[in-house]
A = this chain, B = another copy of it.
Amino acid sequence: MSDPAQTLEQLRQALGDDAVVTGTNISQRHYSDWTGHAPACPAALLLPRTTAHVASALRICNAARQPVVPQGGMTGLAGGAVPRASDIALSLERLRGIEELDPAAATVSVLAGTPLEDIQQAALNAGFVFPLDLGARGSCQIGGNIATNAGGNAVIRYGMTRDLVLGLEVVLADGRVLDLRNKMIKNNCGYDLKQCFIGSEGTLGVITRAVLKLAPQPGPTSTLLCALPDYASAVSLLRRIQRSVGTPQAYELMWQDFFRLGVSWLENPTAPMSLDYPLYVLLESAVPGEPLETLLEQAFADGEVLDAVLAGSQAQARGLWKIREATAEFPLRMTPLNFDVSLPIGLIGDFVERCRTRLEQHWPGNHSVYFGHIGDSNLHLTVDCTSLPQPAPILDIEELVYSAVGELGGSVSAEHGIGLLKREFLHHSVGPEALAVMHQLKDCLDPNGILNPGKIFV
């Protein structure tokens, strides 16, 4: 590595003094992400205003073998944007704004530092929706969403972030600018290079611009809570709905434990139905109530649904969602250890039983709750650390859960990425041959290893 002071001087000359921040002038929000994991003040914070500045910065850092950590809105949940004290952080926050909304093509072209919510709003204003949606919408930036291939609330209907990206502009580690912008759904002109950068957590290139797909605005939705006898019914009900009225906007499964917790935390803890059913699903569909009711009658007759409540008003719909949104209160009411995993849809029920049994064997009386977007194979489980021996055996629990995921062919990261926090568990889902090829790809695109070193791989 070259002399760090000399590198900083080169960066100041190339980007301007105001774009190179050091020491206590660096806001603490650049120290860690929403996990608060391993906060550190980076050696410098770069605030480029243009793609050309990003390119200059990377060219200088690459020549100096200076590690660079790309940063978006810092809302990640895997530590992917957390710097070490010797790293230079590169924030995209000044590359902000919507450059073009093309209503004929149904696309929006944006700078990487644009907050997700700004893009959603621009889409609405033009009569579309940008269907990527997640809790951090006001703070997260689209560049980070793309770099982590964010999931969120609408995946069952619209897919992951990858499915919403038509084109990118990316700066490579050596400062070359790759213009991969594209507005076409169909485009088979050689390798689809943008795919390499989506979900690569800032380790292969820095995303500076994106062209995104917009979707038509859906009509009003119906909200329905159903009680189910078993996990198999959750899957068959979903398939029944898809066949008869189309894929729902949301299909949120809650196991009994979660449902009871959610109801008990309501301001007015009145259950919309009995608390004794094994499973509950909250679903949102863009079809009016009547076809849904016909469908429900058949599901009742087949024993697939045991009880159901169709929200009669917006207020009632919000009330049902409040139960599912108990997750927002986890940090306030318990010490949550959260998992974000995915499994083949048919195996999620078995996985829950397996996991629950093993946790009970090791830590009798522990409190864990299960819920998930099962239509897109995603299960969340949360263990309350206050129900465990202290200090809580975090790593042991993680190993227990992730090895059970691996046994069933699942993924240790459904939507949050690997970052720093899941590197040790990646082997449960990725074999040595695939890992070796990932390293090859990394060496190919970033031979000096300056981009986000230490992330994804141990």
Contact = CB atoms under 8 A, between A and B. Distances in A.
Interface of A: 102-107, 127, 148-149, 151, 155-156, 159-160, 162-163, 172, 176-180, 182-193, 195-196, 198-200, 204, 216-217, 219, 232, 235, 239, 242-244, 246-247, 342-347, 373, 375-378, 409-418, 426, 429-431, 433-438, 440-441, 443-445, 456-457
Given A187-B342, A189-B430, A216-B243, 14 more contacts: A102-B346, A127-B243, A155-B185, A172-B437, A178-B433, A178-B437, A184-B344, A184-B376, A186-B411, A186-B414, A188-B417, A191-B199, A193-B441, A195-B196
Given A105-B377, A189-B430, A377-B105, A414 B345 contact: no
Given A104-B346, A434-B179, A196 B189 contact: no
| Chain A interface, DSSP helix/strand/loop, else mixed | loop
Contacts of A149: 188, 192
24 contacts: A127-B239, A149-B188, A151-B186, A162-B192, A172-B437, A176-B433, A176-B436, A178-B433, A183-B345, A184-B342, A184-B410, A185-B376, A185-B377, A186-B377, A186-B411, A188-B411, A188-B413, A188-B414, A189-B412, A189-B413, A191-B204, A441-B441, A441-B444, A444-B444
B239 A183 contact: no
Nearest to A428: B189
Contacts of A217: 243
Nearest to A410: B184
Contact of A438 (B105, B172, B191, B410): B191
A431 B180 CA distance: 9
A344 B102 contact: yes
A247 B411 contact: no
B437 A193 contact: yes
Nearest to A412: B189
A399 to B, nearest CB: 16
Contacts of A107: 344
B189 A345 contact: no
Contacts of A103: 239, 346
A192 B434 CA distance: 10
> Which of A242, A247, A345 counts the most B-chain CB atoms under 10 A from its CB?
A345
A104 B342 contact: no
A200 B191 contact: yes
A199 B192 contact: yes
A416 B310 CA distance: 47
B184 A414 contact: yes
Contacts of A436: 176
Contact of A193 (B412, B415, B434): B434
Nearest to A440: B444
B105 A345 contact: yes
A361 to B, nearest CB: 27
Nearest to A423: B190
Contacts of A430: 189-190
Contacts of A242: 216
Contacts of A106: 239, 345
Contact of A186 (B198, B342, B409, B444): B342
B184 A411 contact: yes
Contacts of A247: 216
Given A104-B345, A345-B106, A377 B414 contact: no
A232 B105 CA distance: 11
A247 to B, nearest CB: 7
Contacts of A162: 192
